[in-house]
Amino acid sequence: MAEEPMGLRERKKRQTATRIWRAALDLFLERGFDKVSVAEIAAAAEVSKMTVFNYFGTKEDVLLRPMEDHVGDAAEAVRHREPGESAVDAIRRQFLAKIAERDPSIGLSDDPRLLQLRQLIGDTPALARRAMFFQLRSIELLTEVLAEETGDRLMAGIAAHQLVAARDAVILENHRRLVAGDTAEDMADDCAALAARAFDLVEKGLQGYPANA
């Protein structure tokens, strides 16, 4: 019984964060990222400017938080993998599960607003730099997990770069096809086959790295 109020508070916090994000995205798509202020986002979301900063540290954070929430996906897949499962197998399994779920985080969503968001990120240098930082952070987190396990940070970094690059290449292909007019449902089988090929290619080089007894 004692946990229910906390659960309610967390739901309300998520709802507020989502409302702020949607209001910000609408304004950014209408007028451009640089021409929208945090005060205007707050007004559109019907919250105070301080509330926006309490939920999101910067204007870039408001827009990119959903992307940031997935920065640690690869590292988590490897950290919590099954006994005997390689890093490649763990990340491939996680990615295939996201395909089955039609997860927007890997580019399997027909929501036109998300396609517009991708275009906005590409057209806005500050956002593009932040998105690149997320990729580097994903590599760093995966490197840390592999280095903790193997004690070899150099090899861990090499493996992490390859794994994240394979995953991100498939995501970019998903975005390309969505822009070309394909639907997420039509793409799903091709995406699964492409992901299998991409991770198979990495696996040939890593050969079961690292051992996980």
Answer yes or no: is 62 within a domain: no
92 shares a domain with 178: yes
CA-nearest of 98, 111, 20 to 59 is 20
81 shares a domain with 46: no
d(CA 100, CA 53): 35
DSSP string, 7-63: HHHHHHHHHHHHHHHHHHHHHHHHH-GGG--HHHHHHHHTS-HHHHHHH-SSHHHHH
Q: What pLDDT is stored for residue 4 in this prediction?
A: 47
165 shares a domain with 111: yes
CATH number of the domain enclosing 30: 1.10.10.60
Residues 6+ apart with CB under 8 A from 69: 105
Which 3 state secondary structure label does DSSP give 81? Answer: coil
148 shares a domain with 84: yes
Answer yes or no: is 164 within a domain: yes
CA-nearest of 173, 171, 184 to 100 is 184
Q: What pLDDT is stored for residue 2 in this prediction?
A: 42
- Say which residue the tokens 């492409």 belong to: 194
* pTM of the shown model: 0.85
153 shares a domain with 183: yes
93 shares a domain with 7: no
Q: What pLDDT is stored for residue 111 in this prediction?
A: 86
136 shares a domain with 48: no
Low-confidence ranges of the chain (pLDDT < 50): 1-4
159 shares a domain with 82: yes
Answer yes or no: is 65 within a domain: no
196 burial (CB, 10 Å; 0-12 / 13-18 / 19+) is: middle
119 shares a domain with 37: no
Q: What pLDDT is stored for residue 38 in this prediction?
A: 95
Which domain covers residue 76, as residue numbers?
A: 70-206
Which DSSP helix (H) or strand (E) runs through 79? helix 73-79
d(CA 25, CA 36): 10
188 shares a domain with 89: yes
> In this structure, are residues 110 and 103 in contact, taking their beta carbons and an 8 Å threshold?
no
96 shares a domain with 171: yes
Q: What pLDDT is stored for residue 113 in this prediction?
A: 84
d(CA 178, CA 111): 10
User: How many structural domains does the chain have?
Assistant: 2
Boundary residue ending a domain (36, 57, 78): 57
> In this structure, are residues 96 and 195 in contact, taking their beta carbons and an 8 Å threshold?
yes
183 shares a domain with 78: yes
Q: What pLDDT is stored for residue 66 in this prediction?
A: 87
d(CA 90, CA 101): 17
